[in-house]
Amino acid sequence: MRSTLFYIPYEWNGLPVVGLGWLLLGWILLSAVIIGLLIRKQGWNQETASYLPFLGVVAVVIAVLLPNMVDFADGADGEKIPLGIPVRGFGVMMMLAMLAGVGLAMYRAWQMGIDPEVITSLAMWMIFPGIIGARLFFIIEYWGEFKTLLSLFDVTKGGLVVYGSVIGGVPFGVFYLVRRGLPVLAMLDIIAPGMVVGAALGRIGCFLNGCCYGGECDWPVAMTFPAGVYPYSKDSPPYQQQHELGLLYGMKIGKTKGREAVVEEVRAGKEAEKAGVKPGDILTFINGKQIEKFDDALLALGLSGRSVELTTSTGEVRRVTRDDWPGRSLPIHPTQLYSAIDASLLALVLWLLYPFRRKDGEIFALLLSIYPITRILLESVRSDEPVQGVLFTISQWISLAILLLAAGFWYYVEKQPRGSALPRMTKSE
């Protein structure tokens, strides 16, 4: 796990790097060069103008949002010392995911006699709506975790949902294709492998960040995640969850139908059992703090140290003490890597099957059919998403909905004529 790779200096030669500083100046110059090259090549037209929203949004992010993302360290006399802009592992992998996905689609478009710049314009229409959709999906699902307005916009540390990006990006992409008069099904086939390559690299970013983690695991592939990841004192997400649930004390708490905190499990030979904690104990106080509901217990346990005092509904007091406080989590499934491997294999299958498609749309239909199935299976070993309603997580419910959509999409594709609407390049070309 490596949530922060390095820091961009806060200032250089007396001028801020972000905000109204060097980075914004460099971006303005680069934007001017890009627009100038486009005008020289094709003149000022709709295609050239389509780049302006992207260039403008990035400029606003540099000028307004990035200055609020500076990390600070506490000085000797209490003053805040700017460390700089953190370059997150998740953010870097998301950037690589975009470049790899777009690059792969551009190469396939070139093979099929399509100007690769069509793909870059399509990406402009899909990427930002996709990011917004992915973030909105996460915010809605985990609304209670956001404490400040700025935290809603900080996507560099994770908090993007794959299905949200599809819901947000694909409709805008289809709109662009229809507006340009391009064959929608054929173009969806071209971008399908790149979409999954992007998902694979994005999951590597999740691994670096520690999010999207799995449940406890005793397989040889199991991994542990650290406490207090440098340069922060904040624990990694898997470690924090295990601390809050009491797993580091040898027990596991859950909630009753009335949302009371109850001890669901006590592990043999561990500290909780030695202290007399029993399954079924309803917790009413933790370290003297009244526990009215399950969320109160999570907060209280997460703030506890080597020793925690539990008071049950019967008035019994149990003090659980662990002398060898762990520096890493219990072994868990590295579901981020499972997902990356899954997406990589799917991308390879889609890429290799492309020349053998009978009709436009079959490659994208295959993506809609396979990805939801593997996602349902992978969700079964994840522990970071709560079950919504009955049996399934929200991602599993959406996967089922996409499978139904895939069935309808296959029906539509099968009604299309054989062959492709795109000209295939010959070897001599």
**Residue 369, Cβ neighbours under 10 Å: how many?**
16
377-399 pLDDT, tens digit per residue, is 999 999 887 765 567 888 899 99
Comparing 17-31, 135-149, 406-420, which segment has the lowest mean pLDDT?
135-149
pLDDT of residue 429: 35
Q: Side chain identity at 413, as an amino acid letter?
A: V
Is residue 41 over pLDDT 70? yes
> Cβ neighbours of residue 374 under 8 Å, at least 6 residues apart?
342, 346
303-335 pLDDT, tens digit per residue, is 999 999 999 999 999 999 999 999 999 999 999
Which among 34, 355, 312 has a CA at the least distance from the CA of 190?
355
Q: d(Cα 275, Cα 265) in Å, to the nearest integer?
A: 14
337-362 pLDDT, tens digit per residue, is 999 999 999 999 999 999 999 999 99
Contact 372, 409 (CB under 8 A): no
* Superfamily classification of domain 237-321: PDZ domain (2.30.42.10)
pLDDT of residue 158: 60
Q: Which tokens is 347 given?
A: 């991308």
pLDDT of residue 8: 83
pLDDT of residue 302: 93
pLDDT of residue 10: 82
pLDDT of residue 128: 85
Contact 276, 310 (CB under 8 A): no
17 class by beta-carbon count within 10 Å (0-12 exposed, 13-18 middle, 19+ buried): buried
Task: Using DSSP, state whether 99 is helix, strand or coil.
Answer: helix
Comparing 82-96, 102-116, 343-357, which segment has the lowest mean pLDDT?
82-96
Comparing 119-133, 278-292, 367-381, which segment has the lowest mean pLDDT?
119-133
Contact 59, 28 (CB under 8 A): yes
Q: In the chain, which residues fall in CATH 2.30.42.10?
A: 237-321
Q: Which tokens is 33 given?
A: 């060069």
Contact 233, 240 (CB under 8 A): no
228-280 pLDDT, tens digit per residue, is 754 445 789 999 999 999 999 999 999 998 899 999 999 999 999 999 999 99
Which among 311, 310, 178, 299 has a CA at the least distance from the CA of 249?
310
